[in-house]
Every structure is written in structure tokens, then in C-alpha cells.
């Protein structure tokens, strides 16, 4: 009966989520609000509607939803996308989070929270909902505004901040600390960085090969199953390492986002993501006691006001500091107010770890729902609101902000870097990554060894052989990275020696030698601090160390080659833009849209839906410019952009049209493009191409060439083969004549074949058709 009860509970959860989500979408709200409301309604705290019998099992399924949700968020974030966001956006995101953390800490001092409680509440408020913001930007037609692009960039980066905060909070909660101290948090962040780099580095090395091999087999089913298995494996690895399941799923999504197969994986996982993420949000709603929600509603209103004021101020100040114009910074700050899924996850963690009281769970959900409801209204009326703020702003502050913005722009346009810095700045990130990889390999080697020790692989070794085999492999991997690390350090020492030697009286070789000595001592101390010395006896490490020195002396070139191969593989993956030109084009369209307001024109995107009655028609038949005064300036199809939108360009389902025109013309064109085809009968099910053979009778068609007959033009069918006596002509050309008695192999739909038979009868009688095969469906 347990299985039947689970199916019953799952049916109730999904139906409630579906009806509530559809209702919220109909009235213009996010479906997440509907999922939460459904969970509250069918949860254990709202009798007599407590239909779910086993809440714990639904909570377990919600963890699957969390994994898929975080994987989808990771798919939306790639390292190349981070690079396109630029350093100012990254700095603004970090600075905005820092300001919001401090504002919430001050609020916590006033309210009486502990430092750990303040950290949890602040973590709920530092991240916005990327899904809600993207929906608002789309609904308000802001996708081509510069401030909207900045807001979308920041909300993507805030997802990274949220993952880091979630991991830190989970570790702090497990440790039972009340803040943990700066040293512990610093050590935790360093270890987390090492784990992330280790997982991402290994993923960039192995996952592309796996996906290419699966892609070559052209089997989407196997690809989906294997990627799902890898997804859950990495989520478990993150949990075994002491972090959240969400971290492993998020990192795999970020790795797959770099692959050309990203679109296929995204499509194949869309159904599972939607299914289990709805279960996740419903499960969150089921944990909310409606009585607690009623008890804390004054505090919900207070925190709602704090978020709606504090987040725009913090984000706006951060953007202004990074060089954004004050008006644009305020406008972006207003878009970044809605809280979302990460706030629920952090609140759930705080309550389950007993850091936060149970009432803080409905507190977080209630505050989040209010921000989601208020943000669209505020942004629809952002113009008058910002004008009112500017009138109240002191003149001296306005002049100071304008002067600072001008100074930043001037500094950015006129800044030049010294030659030495230009030479070494590309090596510094490589050194950081290599150090984090070594740290990750050595710190998490114990967990890896424990997993191997309990696996069937351990039976292949006897006694201490497993220890030495494992640590020898770890030593070899570490050695490859250390050789590459030392080469980069030596190159920087040489460049600095030459640079400082030219500007001082000290000889360049002496400076270089000093820098190498200091770097060597620092690296030695770093290795000593992270090396698991108690894993082997002293003589064991001496043997491994001696062997390492011999390998470096004899096979140093081979080690460098291995590292270069790995580095080139990673760079090749990162150089492949999975979004095609879409990422670059998003930035270009911001510039394209600037200046259109003076013309009274706007840009708008429209995706051709599957049931469009004009699918397959060309732009000349649609006549959008003459009908609505709009221009189709781009068509995006399967990630590729078609800029030559001539009258003969055909439009198909899934195409994304970029329209340029005035608001009333765009609205009329949108209504026209939203038309569905009429279902006249059920013959559409048999509309695929069919192969048939027909015998050409004596008559007027005999003796003429295919080109002169124009069979395809007259009937729509194609003649793909001619059987004449003992001769078979495959794919005949237009100059091929037809003769009476020829057996013609033709391909077409049922309607086209019917027209072809009528065409044949115009030249005499014909034999009945005999279907050979179904060409496509």
C-alpha cells in the first residue's frame, strides 16, 4: 500500500500545483506563487484539506526537485557568460550583497537577532529571483533596455552568491557555531573554492568527452539517462564532501552550459525539471503553518518594506560605484527587488538546523510573495517614482554623483596598464586555479579514498598496497599541477625582475632569484599545511617525495605536455559559445535600441508557436510591413541569426522574430502572429510523406522531360525514381524524358498523391497505386 499512497500523494500534489499555477498565470502572477499556495492548501496544517498522507516522502521527492532546479539554474550560467558580463557587473554584485548583508545586520541588532540568525536572514535578502525578473522584463518589453540587461546580469551573478552563501550556512549550521569567526569562514571559503575548481576542472575535462561520445550515437534517450546519473552522482559527491546537494547540481549545470550539447540537454530535462521543481515548491508550501503566518504578518510587512527599500538602495549604490549612471542604476535596482527560490531554501535550512524559529519559514515565504506581487506594479510606474525621488534629492548629491560618473568614464577610457602588468595578468588566474586544484585534490583525497576503500576496487589490493597505489596517483596528479604552477611563478619572477631592474639600481637576476626563493618558501609552507601527513608513515612520504623528484628530473617535459593537453582541452570547451551569437547579440541589441525613443519606435521579440497558421509562409505572404507598419529585422532559428530577411524567407515554428515598429503596430502584429491554424479534420495525422509507384500510361505526358512537365509544380509530388525495363534511374534530372510504361517512384502527402493520380488520368488510365514505405511522419 505504500506505493499506492505515494502515487496518490503525488497525484494530489501535481494536480494542485497545476490548477494553482494556471490560475496565477492567468491573473499575471508567477507560477511559483501558485505552487506555494497549493502546498499551503493541501499541507498538514490546513484541515480538512490535508489530503497528503505521507508528507515526509513528498519532502524526499522535493530534494529531487531541488537537484533539477539547481541544475537548470546552472545551465543558465556559463563561464563564458560570466566573462561577457564584465568586471563591473561582478564587482557590483559582490558590493551590493555586502551592503545588503550589513543593512540586514543593523536591522538584526535593532530587532535582537543573534549574529547567526542575522546571517541567515541577510542571506535570504541578498539574492533576487532570476525567473521572476526575467518574466517581468519580458512582460514589460524591457529586454533591449540597458538597465534591464544589467539587472539580468546581476541576478545571474546573485545565483552564484546564493550558492556560496547556502554552502557556508550549511557548514556553519552543521558546526553548530554562532557565526563561526572570520578565520573559520575564510578557511571554509578557501576549501569551498578548492572544491568548486576541482569539480569544475574535472568536469570540463571529462564531461565534454562523454557528451561528444553520446552525441555521436545520436541517441537522446541514452544521453538523458546518463547525464541524469552524473547529475545525481555529483550532487551526492557534494553532500559527501560536506556541502549541499544543490552545489553539485549547480556546478554540473554550469559545466554543461559550456558545451554545444547544452540546448539538447536543456530540452530533454525540461519536463523533469518542471515536474520535480513544482513538487519542490509545493513541499515548501506544505511546511507553512497558516496559523504562524497569521501570527507574524506585522513582521512580514516590516521585512517587505525593508527589502523594497534596502535592495534598490544597495544595488543602486553598488552600480553607481562601478560607473553606471545614477538614473540607470536606480532603474536596475527597482527590477532586482523580488525574492525567490533561494530565499525559501535558506529559510528551510535555517529552520531545519534550529538556527531560526519555525515562524521564520512562513516569514520568508510571505515576504517573498509580497515582493513578487509588488515588483511588476512598481516597475510599470517606475518613471513617476524616479522623478519624485530626483525632486527630493539634494542638488549637491546630484552634482556629486554626476561628477563621479564622469570621472569614472574618463578613467575607463583613458587608463593604460604598464607593460609588466600586461605580461603577468594572464598568468595570475592560472596560478590561482592551479593552487585551488592542488588544494582540492589534497584536501578531498581522504573522502575519495574512503569511497574507494568501501568499493569493490579495494578487493584488488592487499594490505597497505591500496594506500600506496592511491597516494601515488594523487602525487602524480599533484606533480603535474605543481610543475605548471612553478613555471608560471618563475615566468612572473623573471618579468618582474626585468621590470624592477630597469627602474632601480638592483640587478635583474638578483631580483628574480629573490622572488623565486620567496615564492618557493611560500609554496612549501602552503603544501605542508594542506598535505595529509598522517595518511602514511614518514618513510612512505619520503619514498613518494623521492620518486616525485626523480619523475620531475626525468619526465618534466612529459608532465608539462600533460598539463598543456588538459589546459588546451579546457580552453577549447570554453571557446565554444553554446549560445552561438545570442550572447554577443544581447549586448549589441542594447545599443540598437538606444535612441529609438526619439523616433517613437520599439523593438519586440515574438516566438512563432507550433500551431501558427502561417507556418511555412514567406515574409512576402505575411506582408507585415504593409499591414502593420513593422519591420522584421532579424530571425533567430535554432540559435542562428538570419539578418537578411528578404521577402522569400520562410517562417517556421520556433523562429524568434525581432520586430521594429511603433507600439500600436507591434500590438497589431502580435495579435496577427498569435493566430492558430484551424483543425478541419483528422487528416493532419497522416500528413507525412509517403512513397508510391505509378505506371505512366500512353498519352500527352509520354515523351516529355520532367522539366517541361513541371510535375512538382502541378501536383506537389517529387519523382525520385524511374524503372524502365531493366534500367533503374535514381533521382532523375530535369532533362530526363518520360516514356509510356515507366514505373515512377513518387513521394508526397496523401493530398499530393491524389492530385498526382488526377494528373496521370489526364493522360490516360493508370494502374492502382501500391504504397511501398512511409518516408516520414
Residue 573 confidence class, pLDDT cut points 50, 70, 90: low
Please give the full DSSP string across 621-669, using - where no structure is assigned: HH-HHHHHS-EEEEEEETTEEE----TT-B--TT-EEEEEE-HHHHHHH
Does the CA dihedral 352-353-354-355 come out positive or negative? negative
Distance CA 123, CA 104 (A): 9
Contact at 8 Å (CB) between 691 and 667? no
Instruction: Give the model's confidence band at 577: pLDDT under 50 very low, under 70 low, under 90 confident, else very high.
Output: low
- Render pLDDT for 702-729 as a digit per residue (tens, 0 to 9): 888 888 888 887 888 888 889 888 888 8
User: What value does the mean pLDDT take over residues 455-484?
Assistant: 73
pLDDT, average across residues 731-759? 86
Q: Is the pLDDT score of 764 beyond 50?
A: no
Please report the sign of the dihedral spanned by the C-alpha atoms of residue 265, residue 267, residue 272, residue 275: positive
Note the pLDDT of residue 81: 64
**First-to-last C-alpha distance (Å) of the chain:** 42
Cell matching residue 716: 506537389
Please state, for a pLDDT cut of 70, what percent of the chain lies above it: 81
| Residue 503 pLDDT | 60
| CA 63 remoteness from chain centre | 19
Average pLDDT over residues 602-610: 81
pLDDT tens digits, 479-506: 878 888 888 888 888 888 777 766 666 7
The 10s digit of each residue's pLDDT in 60-101 is: 777 888 888 788 877 876 666 666 666 777 888 888 888 998
The pLDDT tens digits of the residues spanning 162-208 come to 877 877 787 777 666 544 444 455 566 667 777 777 787 778 778 88
User: Cβ distance 23 to 33 under 8 Å?
Assistant: no
Q: For the segment 346-376, what is each residue's pLDDT rounded down to a tens digit?
A: 888 888 888 888 888 888 888 888 888 888 8
Confidence of residue 581 (pLDDT cuts 50, 70, 90): very low
Q: What is the rounded CA–CA span in Å between residue 458 and residue 739?
A: 76
Residues forming a β-bridge with 676: 612
**Residue in 516, 486, 499, 489 with CA at minimum distance from that of residue 421:** 499
- Per-residue HEC secondary structure of 430-493 comes to HHHHHHHHHHHHHHCHHHHHHHHHCCHHHHHCCCCHHHHHHHHHHHHHHHHHHHHHHHHHHHHH
- Which residue in the block uniquely carries the three cell numbers 506563487? 33
> What digits encode the pLDDT tens for the residues 627-675?
888 888 888 887 678 888 888 888 888 888 888 888 888 888 888 888 7
* Global model pTM greater than 0.85: no
Residues 337 and 307: beta-carbon distance below 8 Å: yes
Q: To which residue does cell 542594447 refer?
A: 590
pLDDT surpassing 90 at residue 115: no
- pLDDT band for position 604 (50/70/90)? confident
Query: What is the share, in percent, of the chain residues with pLDDT greater than 90?
Result: 3
Backbone angles phi, psi at 477, to 5 degrees: -60, -45
Report residue 530 CA to chain centroid gap: 33
The 3-class secondary structure across 213-241, one letter per residue, is HHHHCCCHHHHHHHHHHHHHHHHHHHHHC
Query: Is residue 47's pLDDT more than 50?
Result: yes
Look at 114 and 144; give whichever has higher pLDDT.
114
- State the Cα–Cα distance between residues 232 and 221, nearest whole angstrom: 17
pLDDT, tens digit, 9 for 90 and up, residues 391-445 = 888 888 887 878 877 777 776 665 555 666 777 777 887 888 788 888 888 877 7
Cα→Cα distances 54→16, 73, 281, 352, Å: 16, 29, 16, 18
Mean pLDDT of 304-319: 92
Amino acid at each position: 500500500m505504500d506505493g499506492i499512497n505515494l502515487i496518490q500523494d503525488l497525484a494530489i500534489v501535481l494536480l494542485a500545483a497545476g490548477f494553482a499555477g494556471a490560475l496565477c498565470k492567468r491573473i499575471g502572477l508567477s507560477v511559483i506563487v501558485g505552487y506555494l499556495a497549493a502546498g499551503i492548501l493541501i499541507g498538514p496544517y490546513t484541515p480538512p484539506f490535508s489530503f497528503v498522507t505521507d508528507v515526509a516522502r513528498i519532502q524526499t521527492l522535493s530534494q529531487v526537485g531541488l537537484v533539477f532546479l539547481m541544475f537548470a539554474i546552472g545551465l543558465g550560467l556559463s563561464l563564458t557568460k560570466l566573462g561577457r558580463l564584465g568586471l563591473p557587473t561582478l564587482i557590483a554584485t559582490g558590493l551590493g550583497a555586502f551592503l545588503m548583508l550589513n543593512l540586514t545586520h543593523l536591522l538584526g541588532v535593532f530587532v535582537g537577532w543573534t549574529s547567526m540568525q542575522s546571517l541567515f536572514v541577510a542571506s535570504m535578502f541578498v539574492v533576487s529571483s532570476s525567473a521572476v525578473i526575467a518574466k517581468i522584463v519580458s512582460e514589460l518589453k524591457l529586454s533591449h533596455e540597458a538597465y534591464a540587461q544589467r539587472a539580468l546580469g546581476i541576478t545571474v551573478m546573485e545565483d552564484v552568491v546564493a550558492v556560496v552563501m547556502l554552502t557556508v550556512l550549511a557548514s556553519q549550521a552543521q558546526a553548530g557555531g554562532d557565526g563561526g569567526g572570520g578565520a573559520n569562514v575564510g578557511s571554509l571559503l578557501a576549501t569551498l573554492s578548492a572544491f568548486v575548481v576541482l569539480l569544475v576542472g574535472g568536469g570540463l575535462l571529462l564531461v565534454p568527452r562523454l557528451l561528444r561520445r553520446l552525441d555521436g550515437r545520436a541517441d537522446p534517450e541514452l544521453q538523458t539517462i546518463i547525464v541524469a546519473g552524473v547529475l545525481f552522482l555529483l550532487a551526492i559527491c557534494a553532500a559527501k564532501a560536506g556541502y549541499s546537494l544543490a552545489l553539485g547540481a549547480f556546478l554540473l549545470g554550469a559545466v554543461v552550459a559550456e558545451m554545444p550539447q547544452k540546448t539538447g540537454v536543456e530540452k530533454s530535462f525540461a519536463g523533469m525539471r518542471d515536474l520535480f521543481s513544482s513538487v519542490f515548491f509545493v513541499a515548501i508550501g506544505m511546511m507553512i503553518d497558516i496559523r504562524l503566518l497569521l501570527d507574524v504578518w506585522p513582521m512580514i510587512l516590516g521585512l517587505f518594506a525593508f527589502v523594497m527599500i534596502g535592495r534598490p538602495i544597495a544595488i543602486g549604490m553598488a552600480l553607481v560605484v562601478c560607473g553606471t549612471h545614477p538614473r540607470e542604476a536606480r532603474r536596475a535596482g527597482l527590477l532586482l527587488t523580488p525574492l525567490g527560490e533561494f530565499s525559501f531554501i535558506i529559510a528551510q535550512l535555517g529552520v531545519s538546523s534550529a538556527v531560526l524559529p519555525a515562524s521564520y519559514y512562513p516569514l520568508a515565504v510571505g515576504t517573498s510573495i509580497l515582493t513578487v506581487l509588488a515588483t511588476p506594479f512598481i516597475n510599470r510606474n517606475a518613471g513617476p517614482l524616479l522623478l519624485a525621488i530626483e525632486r527630493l534629492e539634494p542638488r549637491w548629491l546630484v552634482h556629486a554623483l554626476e561628477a563621479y560618473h564622469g570621472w569614472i568614464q574618463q578613467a575607463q577610457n583613458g587608463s593604460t596598464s604598464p607593460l609588466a602588468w600586461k605580461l603577468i595578468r594572464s598568468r595570475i588566474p592560472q596560478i590561482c586555479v592551479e593552487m585551488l586544484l592542488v588544494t582540492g585534490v589534497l584536501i578531498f583525497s581522504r573522502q575519495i579514498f574512503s569511497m574507494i576503500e568501501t568499493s569493490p576496487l579495494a578487493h584488488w589490493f592487499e594490505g597497505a598496497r591500496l594506500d600506496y597505489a592511491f597516494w601515488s596517483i594523487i602525487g602524480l596528479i599533484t606533480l603535474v599541477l605543481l610543475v605548471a604552477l612553478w613555471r608560471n611563478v618563475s615566468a612572473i619572477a623573471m618579468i618582474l625582475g626585468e621590470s624592477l631592474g630597469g627602474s632601480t639600481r638592483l640587478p635583474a637576476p638578483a631580483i628574480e632569484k629573490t622572488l623565486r626563493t620567496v615564492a618557493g618558501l611560500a609554496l612549501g609552507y602552503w603544501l605542508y599545511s594542506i598535505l595529509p601527513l598522517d595518511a602514511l608513515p614518514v618513510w612512505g612520504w619520503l619514498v613518494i617525495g623521492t620518486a616525485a623528484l626523480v619523475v620531475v628530473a626525468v619526465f618534466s617535459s612529459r608532465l608539462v605536455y600533460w598539463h598543456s593537453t588538459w589546459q588546451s582541452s579546457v580552453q577549447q570547451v570554453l571557446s565554444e559559445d553554446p549560445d552561438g551569437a545570442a550572447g554577443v547579440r544581447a549586448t549589441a541589441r542594447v545599443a540598437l535600441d538606444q535612441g529609438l525613443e526619439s523616433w517613437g519606435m520599439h523593438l519586440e521579440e515574438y516566438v512563432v508557436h507550433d500551431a501558427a497558421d502561417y507556418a511555412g509562409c514567406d515574409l512576402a505572404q505575411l506582408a507585415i510591413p504593409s499591414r502593420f507598419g513593422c519591420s522584421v529585422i532579424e530571425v533567430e532559428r535554432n540559435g542562428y541569426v538570419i539578418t537578411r530577411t528578404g521577402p522569400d524567407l520562410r517562417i517556421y515554428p520556433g523562429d524568434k522574430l525581432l520586430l521594429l515598429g511603433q507600439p500600436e503596430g507591434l500590438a497589431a502584429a502580435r495579435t496577427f502572429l498569435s493566430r492558430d491554424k484551424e483543425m478541419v479534420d483528422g487528416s493532419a495525422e497522416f500528413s507525412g510523406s509517403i512513397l508510391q509507384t505509378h505506371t505512366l500510361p500512353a498519352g500527352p505526358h509520354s515523351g516529355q522531360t520532367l522539366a517541361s512537365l513541371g510535375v512538382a509544380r502541378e501536383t506537389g509530388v517529387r519523382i525520385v525514381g524511374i524503372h524502365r525495363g531493366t534500367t533503374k534511374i535514381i533521382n532523375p534530372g530535369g532533362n530526363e524524358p518520360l516514356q509510356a510504361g515507366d514505373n515512377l517512384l513518387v513521394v508526397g502527402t496523401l493530398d499530393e498523391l491524389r492530385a498526382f493520380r488526377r494528373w496521370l488520368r489526364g493522360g490516360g488510365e493508370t494502374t492502382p497505386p501500391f504504397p511501398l514505405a512511409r518516408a516520414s511522419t
